[in-house]
Amino acid sequence: MTELREAAPSAGTDLLDERTRELAGYCASMIGRLRTIGQRLDQDPDAITEFLDEPEVRFPVQGMLPPPYRSTGEFPAPLVEASSTVLGQVVATEQVAYGDPNVILASPGPSLSGGVVQALADEQQRQRYFGRLAAAPTHTFFALTEPAKGSAAAELETTLAPAPNGGWLLNGVKCYIGNGARAQIGVVFCRRAPGPWGIEAVLLDTSAPGFSGELLPTVGLRGARISRLRFQDVVVAPEDLLGAHRSPSRRGLYGATYILYRFRPGIAAMAIGCAQAACDYLRTHRSTLARWDRHRLDGILDRVAAVRHRTYAVAAGIDAGVVDVAGIGAVKARAARIAEDATRLVAELLGPACLIEHPWVEKTYRDVRAFELMEGTTNLHAMAVFQSLLRGQAAPQPVAQRAVDGAARH
Amino acid sequence: MNPAPPASPNPAGTPYPLVLDALHRRAAAGRLVASPTGHVLASTVALPDAPPGPLTRFGLAVAEATPESAFGEGPAADRFASALLPAHRELLDTTLSHALRHLEGRTSGDTTLLAKQLVVGQLADIALRLAEDAFVPEVRRHTDRYARWRCHLRLVDIGRDLLRLLGASGFLADGPAGDLHLAEVVGNVYLHPDTENADD
């Protein structure tokens, strides 16, 4: 697979320090194996259990764990630390997705819910959640999206009502939840009272009576195991409420917004990795292209380079405490579109029946379409971009001020 | 505007693999039509012995052409290729109707997504492009393989824009996204105008 040599980031590296570039190289060395595992997951998404001991599955989630819960001595500690920043996650994720995005999405680990727990939970809740992840491979979920409201965090309808004997009862439906039906623990966003501060995040064990999950058949990215979850009178104890020690404006909706902004550049990174991989695959399997076709491919590569650079910039901004909401949405939306355009062009230029004769191309052609819908569609982000335009591209505000601003939809 | 109940993810209509079977029958009675590359794509019902592959779960089977296949560039293959485009367009028409119902069932604030100007404009644009494509004269549409390929690419563009409007439900294999993916693959196999293969 000679196209794998192209994995190192070719643009945006001026924003990376030496350690982060080393991280990119470390992840790039995993690409060949990731591609093999990814093909297997497309056939059987639950086959991830066959690969749980492999470094390609274990390393990418290490940086998402708080230091006390990371594996000791298994991976270079400086690289794990480097992968714990938003920029580090972006750089690592791009390389991993170049191999195959299904693997990181299928892997046990904290996902977005871990970020919410880190941001909101008290010490006991952190121990309960991360301790469980450290003890055994554990799938988790982040349940925000609903059938009628999509990912409009402020409009969600899943309810948290007082239970007769104390605590609460959770009722509602969530859909398009990654790993939901196979997870052991996760975070559910629900409404305890009207208004934005009436939204809560609760930690839920999927063995709780009244919880049920079903898999949804997706066109691609099957490793994500997109699911529909139902909650029918699920008992939520006081200790399950995340951030109860905080004010209502610093938990619930704040937690959802806080973590979505931090993870959204990672979706862009997955799309960038796939787009680059598709272009490199074409260059390997079609060593000669007509001049005009070469220009078309270069046009895609120009766009990949641009969105990669901008993704690194918004990620570095978040690490520095500045959240450019419109910029974050823009890179996610543009990267998703580029990945679609890249795979379509590659399928066209590889020639007739390439979607039969090149199974990796057919799989990637399906997979990349998921990035459009993950963490908000292009239309939603376009509205944020327009609002930014109206404000005259005002300077991004510090995190604390912006965490909930503009949180009506994500 | 009161929201309508959410639309079923699967629009009413014949699953694309069965539509494909009907096109085979119409083009070459009793035989399956092979692509210029020597592949035969039909439903898993029509090709029960085909090896399993990534499209099997969508109901589509892929087999090598046999001596019994209607082969190559002949009249049957030409009839079949010509018929693929209206079938794709019909699928898009069905998906557009589905999108109207779906978006009426989704709400944002106190209104449906169908009342959003951004969404309305995109739907209208899709309808205009579909209508425009329908008015391409037949003689022009079927001038040669390149003409058919251009039409196919236009339909793929429309389909992708339509599925984006469906949000996450536009990624479900048992809805329009599954059938439209098959229409794209079938076009890649039967309508792609190039004759040379990739390096390997």
Q: Which of A248-252, A327-331, A401-405 is least confident?
A: A401-405
Q: What distance in Å separates residue B129's CA from the closest CA in chain A?
A: 19
Using CA atoms, how far apart are residues A185 and B110, in angstroms rounded to an integer? 33
- Strand pairing category for A226-236 and A211-215: antiparallel
Question: A362 and B199: CB-CB below 8 Å?
Answer: no
> What pLDDT score does A274 carry?
98
**Mean pLDDT of all residues belonging to chain B:** 89
Structure tokens at A54: 């492999």
**Average of per-residue pLDDT across A40-64:** 96
Query: Is residue B196's pLDDT more than 80?
Result: no
Q: Phi/psi of residue A169, each to 5°?
A: -120, 130
> What pLDDT score does A287 carry?
87
Same domain, A82 and A158: no
CATH number (domain holding residue A140): 2.40.110.10
Which range among A168-177, A390-399, B63-72, B133-142 has the greatest average pLDDT?
A168-177
Same domain, A75 and A137: no
Q: Which residues of A touch B165 (CB under 8 A)?
A: 379
Using CA atoms, how far apart are residues A355 and B183, in angstroms rounded to an integer? 12
**Mean pLDDT of all residues belonging to chain A:** 91
Using CA atoms, how far apart are residues A187 and A181, in angstroms rounded to an integer? 13
Question: A217 and B106: CB-CB below 8 Å?
Answer: no
Same domain, A101 and A125: no
- Asked which of A80, A111, A142 is the last residue of a domain, the reply is A111
Question: B54 and A42: CB-CB below 8 Å?
Answer: yes
pLDDT in tens, B26-76: 999 889 999 999 999 999 999 999 999 999 999 999 999 988 887 766 788
Q: Which of A46-60, A310-324, A393-407 is least confident?
A: A393-407
Same domain, A219 and A341: no
Same domain, A346 and A287: yes
Domains and CATH numbers, chain B: 16-190 (1.20.140.10)
**Average of per-residue pLDDT across A183-212:** 96
> What pLDDT score does B128 carry?
98
Same domain, A265 and A398: yes
Same domain, A273 and A166: no
User: Which ipTM did the prediction report?
Assistant: 0.92
Query: Is residue A7's pLDDT more than 60?
Result: no
Find the domain containing A81 and state its range.
Answer: 2-111
Contact predicate B107/A148, CB 8 Å:
yes
- The answer as to whether A410 is a domain residue is no
Query: Is residue B189's pLDDT more than 70?
Result: yes
> What pLDDT score does A297 carry?
97
pLDDT in tens, B77-120: 999 999 999 999 999 999 999 999 999 988 888 889 999 999 99
Helix (H) or strand (E) holding A135: helix A123-135
Query: Is residue A396's pLDDT more than 80?
Result: no
pTM: 0.92
- Strand pairing category for A168-178 and B107-108: unpaired
- The answer as to whether A256 is a domain residue is no
Same domain, A102 and A174: no
> What pLDDT score does B100 carry?
96
Query: Is residue B3's pLDDT more than 50?
Result: no
Same domain, A285 and A365: yes
Query: Is residue A168's pLDDT more than 50?
Result: yes
Q: What distance in Å separates residue A1's CA from the closest CA in chain B?
A: 12
Nearest to A146 by CA among A189, A178, A180, A175: A175
Question: A150 and B106: CB-CB below 8 Å?
Answer: yes
- The answer as to whether A74 is a domain residue is yes
**Best residue in B119, B171, B180, B181 for a mutation probing chain A (most A CBs within 10 Å):** B171
Contact predicate B28/B15, CB 8 Å:
no
**Average of per-residue pLDDT across A338-347:** 98
Q: How many domains does chain A have?
A: 3
> What pLDDT score does A335 carry?
98
CATH number (domain holding residue A345): 1.20.140.10
- The answer as to whether A86 is a domain residue is yes
Same domain, A7 and A96: yes
B198/A contact by beta carbon, under 8 A: yes
pLDDT in tens, A101-137: 999 999 999 989 999 999 999 999 999 999 999 999 9
- The answer as to whether A407 is a domain residue is no
CB atoms within 10 A of CB A217: 15
Query: Is residue A395's pLDDT more than 70?
Result: no
The minimal CB distance from B172 to the residues A217, A359, A377 is found for A217
- Asked which of A111, A137, A161 is the last residue of a domain, the reply is A111
Rg (CA), chain B: 18
Question: B62 and A377: CB-CB below 8 Å?
Answer: no
> What pLDDT score does A363 carry?
98
The minimal CB distance from B167 to the residues A350, A366, A377 is found for A377
pLDDT in tens, A221-263: 999 999 999 999 999 999 999 999 999 888 998 888 989 999 9
Q: How confident is the model at residue A14 (pLDDT cuts 50, 70, 90)?
A: confident
Same domain, A166 and A190: yes
Q: How confident is the model at residue A5 (pLDDT cuts 50, 70, 90)?
A: very low
- The answer as to whether A101 is a domain residue is yes
Q: What distance in Å separates residue B199's CA from the closest CA in chain A?
A: 5
- The answer as to whether A104 is a domain residue is yes
**Average of per-residue pLDDT across A297-316:** 96
Same domain, A36 and A87: yes
- Asked which of A111, A143, A174 is the last residue of a domain, the reply is A111
Query: Is residue A394's pLDDT more than 90?
Result: no
> What pLDDT score does A255 carry?
85
> What pLDDT score does A410 carry?
34
CA dihedral B127, B130, B132, B137 (to 10 degrees): -160
